[in-house]
Chains A and B, each alone.
Chain A
Amino acid sequence: GESVGLHLPTLSVQEGDNSIINCAYSNSASDYFIWYKQESGKGPQFIIDIRSNMDKRQGQRVTVLLNKTVKHLSLQIAATQPGDSAVYFCAEKENAGGTSYGKLTFGQGTILTVHP
């Protein structure tokens, strides 16, 4: 759903630890999912994506897991660094048709803080 008027959950980790950020999405018709990173004063930037015909995708230090049964998405960051401190958003896109065809809907967001 839309994140309106909500204060964001936070996750604090130590440098070098692995981080897991979770997201519950709302639309069972969504077939494409994206994780974005937003640093202070900037627009969100693409990290990694996954299609609904996959359950796992790996990038550089990041892995996205998709569980369509429970409509859950997670982002794993390996060996978290201070530069990873940011707000992380998941997003879902429905490509099946209807008035929301192709619309990108964002999750609530999570503030990740990495302590040196």
Chain B
Amino acid sequence: GAGVSQSPSNKVTEKGKDVELRCDPISGHTALYWYRQSLGQGLEFLIYFQGNSAPDKSGLPSDRFSAERTGGSVSTLTIQRTQQEDSAVYLCASSSTRGNTEAFFGQGTRLTVV
């Protein structure tokens, strides 16, 4: 596609439910990132995929969070047993190589846990 696509754009869920957030990166991009952004705050790194390498999961805040990337393309971020503190905008980005190229961001998924 023309850019990074995230779905849904908005998600309201009840506390305790599981949610799945989807990211379609730019075709051919080998690197994919997930970030979380709370209102008025910075970008919190969650997880990084690079090609076939093991993902860098060092930013996942708890074992309720997981992510996978199928076929080196689409990625799904799953949050189990959601809590109110999980409410935030979840941003996905992709880039072409490990070299000197910028990452392109999607518009994000706004998650609200009620």
Contact = CB atoms under 8 A, between A and B. Distances in A.
A and B associate in one complex: yes
Interface of A: 2-8, 31-32, 34, 36, 42-46, 49, 51, 89, 91, 93, 95, 99-109
A34 B93 CA distance: 14
Given A2-B59, A45-B105, A104-B33, A109 B43 contact: yes
B103 A104 contact: yes
Contacts of A6: 41-42
Contact of A3 (B44, B56, B106): B44
Given A43-B107, A43-B108, A49-B102, A104 B93 contact: yes
A112 to B, nearest CB: 14
A69 B45 CA distance: 26
Contacts of B107: 42-43
Q: Which 8 A-B pairs have the closest CB atoms?
A: A3-B42, A43-B105, A102-B98, A106-B43, A109-B42, A32-B100, A46-B102, A103-B48
B1 interface: no
